[in-house]
């Protein structure tokens, strides 16, 4: 595993933001996989992609874990760019929890009502229902499996994504969740896992804390990398605890950190 290099052919994760909903001085949580799969269009993600020169036309699919503002409020800005600045050759594919299409188009309308042509951008929605848990699907040739997670009363999903086809190793994204069977299922299905750690305290059902991460890490093979995002900016002591109390790697991701996973088919 290494920081990304332009010559790298390994699966690449660019952390566009790693902060939780309170931000705490970090950008809001969003990850770009191999420059073409965007997981959670957070409020700050479009600005960060432009900062590092990502071609927005290259985004083929957007995966949305749940419909909270820190995960979706960048969507109108993405659509705005596709309306005026960036020409897409194909419709944008959006995988989201059931009800997401209406919510997402509503926030586009609220954000930019009256702007001409904004509803001309072609978007195809793929809504995920509770019963889709564990069922492999495909979008623009990218196989993925949704896992029903536990984030209060709203519908939320983690995703195992095979960005280079069904034979490529799956990378998991938990979205917001507390410890639960759906999270365990996702963790068991992937070779690398991007996981939330919204706060220090554990045993809060809707989010993961430090001890929850350590407990989950112990259930996973040591060669599966865990990367923490949606975090509160843990200090040195917590980072040392995470590093020393468990076998296998845990990375506390930073804003605009790019991680080359070294996964091969």
Non-local (6+) Cβ contacts of 174 within 8 A are: 65, 149, 158, 183, 186, 193, 194, 195, 196, 208
Tokens 């983690």 belong to: 158
Nearer to Zn ion, 21 or 214 (CB): 21
The three-state secondary structure class of 240 is helix
Assess contact for 160 and 144: CB atoms under 8 A. Answer: yes
Residues in the chain: 265
Structure tokens at 163: 């960005």
Smallest distance, Å, CB 70 to Zn ion? Answer: 4
27 binds Zn ion (CB under 5 A): no
Smallest distance, Å, CB 130 to Zn ion? Answer: 17
238 binds Zn ion (CB under 5 A): no
68 binds Zn ion (CB under 5 A): yes
* Torsion of Cα atoms, 255 then 145 then 164 then 90, to 10°: -80
Smallest distance, Å, CB 164 to Zn ion? Answer: 28
176 binds Zn ion (CB under 5 A): yes
Which residue in 27, 40, 70, 164 binds Zn ion (CB under 5 A)? 70
Nearer to Zn ion, 143 or 178 (CB): 178
164 binds Zn ion (CB under 5 A): no
- What span, in angstroms and rounded, lies between the C-alpha atoms of 144 and 261? 18
Assess contact for 123 and 79: CB atoms under 8 A. Answer: yes
Smallest distance, Å, CB 172 to Zn ion? Answer: 17
Nearer to Zn ion, 35 or 98 (CB): 98
Smallest distance, Å, CB 28 to Zn ion? Answer: 8
21 binds Zn ion (CB under 5 A): yes
Q: Which residues bind Zn ion (CB under 5 A)?
A: 21, 68, 70, 176
């Amino acid at each position: 595993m290494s920081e990304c290099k332009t010559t790298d052919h390994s699966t690449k994760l660019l952390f566009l933001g790693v902060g939780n909903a309170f931000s705490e001085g970090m950008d809001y949580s969003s990850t770009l996989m191999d420059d073409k799969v965007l997981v959670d269009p957070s409020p700050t993600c479009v600005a960060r992609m432009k900062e590092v020169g990502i071609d927005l036309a290259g985004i083929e699919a957007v995966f949305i874990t749940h419909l909270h503002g820190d995960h979706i409020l960048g969507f109108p800005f993405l659509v705005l760019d596709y309306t005026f600045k960036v020409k897409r050759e194909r419709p944008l594919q959006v995988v989201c929890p059931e009800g997401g299409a209406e919510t997402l188009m509503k926030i586009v309308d609220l954000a930019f009502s009256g702007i001409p042509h904004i509803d001309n951008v072609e978007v195809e929605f793929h809504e995920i229902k509770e019963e889709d848990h564990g069922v492999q699907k495909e979008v623009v040739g990218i196989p993925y499996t949704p896992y029903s997670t536990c984030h209060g009363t709203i519908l939320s999903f983690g995703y195992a994504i095979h960005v280079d086809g069904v034979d490529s190793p799956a990378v998991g994204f938990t979205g917001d969740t507390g410890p639960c069977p759906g999270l365990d299922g996702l963790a068991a299905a992937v070779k690398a896992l991007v996981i939330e750690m919204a706060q220090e305290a554990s045993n809060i059902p809707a989010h993961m804390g430090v001890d929850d991460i350590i407990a989950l890490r112990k259930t996973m093979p040591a060669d599966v990398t865990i990367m923490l995002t949606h975090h509160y900016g843990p200090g040195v002591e917590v980072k040392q605890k995470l590093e020393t109390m468990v076998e296998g790697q845990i990375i506390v991701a930073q804003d605009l950190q790019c991680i080359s996973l070294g996964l091969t088919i």
